[in-house]
Amino acid sequence: MSLYFGIVQQLTQVSPSVSPTPSVSLSQTPSRTPTRTPSGVPTYRYTVDMYYCEFPYCSYSLGMAVIENTYQISIGSFFVYDSNTIMEIMNSTTSTPDYYTNFQNYLGYDNCNTACQNSQ
């Protein structure tokens, strides 16, 4: 006669709890503010022609763009945007800006080559 000792296990059945699917709402708020200036501060928008500066001379046009500038500046002036980009102020506009600038009149030049020569 053999003795059989069995181990009795008590199993507890666990059912996963189901939670409702979270709802997702999309915001139509833009991820960035379209202007970098505090509200109430006047800004000026200009259409510009951009030129490639291949030091020491302007080489070719990069195309047109719109800038929003902190100061009122003279139409026809050339400004150094970066070491390879010169912007010629063409006219005032109300279009949405592509670039935000801080040009001041005393930083403007009479022609593209002079601006390019002062870009380095």
Instruction: Say yes or no to pLDDT of 61 above 60.
Output: yes
In a domain, 24, yes or no: no
| Closest by Cα among 48, 47, 50, 55 to 113 | 55
Would you state the pLDDT for residue 29? 37
In a domain, 99, yes or no: yes
Instruction: Say yes or no to pLDDT of 31 above 50.
Output: no
Domain count, the chain: 1
Would you state the pLDDT for residue 40? 73
In a domain, 7, yes or no: no
Would you state the pLDDT for residue 99? 97
In a domain, 14, yes or no: no
Question: What does the block give as tokens for 80?
Answer: 């150094």
The answer to whether the beta carbons of residues 46 and 76 sit under 8 Å apart is: no
Proportion of the chain above pLDDT 70, given as a percent:
68
In a domain, 5, yes or no: no
- For residue 107, give Cα distances in angstroms to 3, 4, 103, 118: 103, 100, 7, 10
| Closest by Cα among 107, 111, 89 to 44 | 89
Would you state the pLDDT for residue 37? 53
Would you state the pLDDT for residue 63? 98
In a domain, 74, yes or no: yes
Across residues 55-80, what is the average pLDDT? 98
Instruction: Say yes or no to pLDDT of 32 above 50.
Output: no
